[in-house]
Homo-oligomer: A and B are copies of this chain.
Amino acid sequence: MDASTIFHIHQFYARQSHLIDSGRAEEWAGTFTAGGAFHSPTYPAPVVGSADLTDFAAGFHRRATEQGEVHRHVVTNVWVRPEEETPADGVIVEAYLQVLATEVGGATRILRMTTLLDHLVVSEGRWSVARREVRRDDSPA
C-alpha cells in the first residue's frame, strides 16, 4: 500500500459524503460499481445496482428536506486494511460514519453512529464500492 493509494481513498470518502448530502444522487451511485451492493440494517433490503442506488440516495436527501433538516455523513478513522487481508482486486476499508441531522433554525444531533465495512475496487485509476456493509452501534451485533 503506498501513499498515493491511501490519498485516493481518502479523497474518495471525503467526496462521497458531499455527493449524497447535497442530493447529487446519480453521482453518489456512480461511486459504486455497476452491480455494487449496499447492505444496511437501517433499510429493509440491500440496495443493488446503479438505478436502485440512485433512487436510494435521492430518497435519503428528499426525506431529510421534507423534515426541514440537513443530514450529513461524517466519515472518520478510514482504515485501509493491511495487504494480507486484501482481495486481489482492491482493498477492504473499515471506517466510522456518523450521521448528523440539523433542523433548519434549530439544533444539531447525532442520528446514528455506524461502522462502514467496504470492499473497494479500482479500475483505470478510479475507485468504487463493490460492496458496503453498514453496522449500527444501536443494533445488536
Contact = CB atoms under 8 A, between A and B. Distances in A.
Interface of A: 2-4, 6-7, 10-11, 13-15, 17-18, 70, 72-80, 94-96, 98, 100, 102-113, 137-140
A105 B82 CA distance: 33
Given A2-B7, A18-B77, A72-B113, 7 more contacts: A7-B7, A14-B77, A14-B80, A17-B77, A18-B79, A70-B137, A72-B96
Number of copies: 3
A137 B108 contact: yes
Contacts of A102: 112-113, 137-138
Contacts of A140: 104
Contacts of A7: 2-3, 6-7
B3 A104 contact: no
A104 B139 contact: yes
Q: Give the residue among A13, A138, A139 with the most B Cβ atoms within 10 A.
A: A138
A80 B10 CA distance: 10
A13 to B, nearest CB: 7
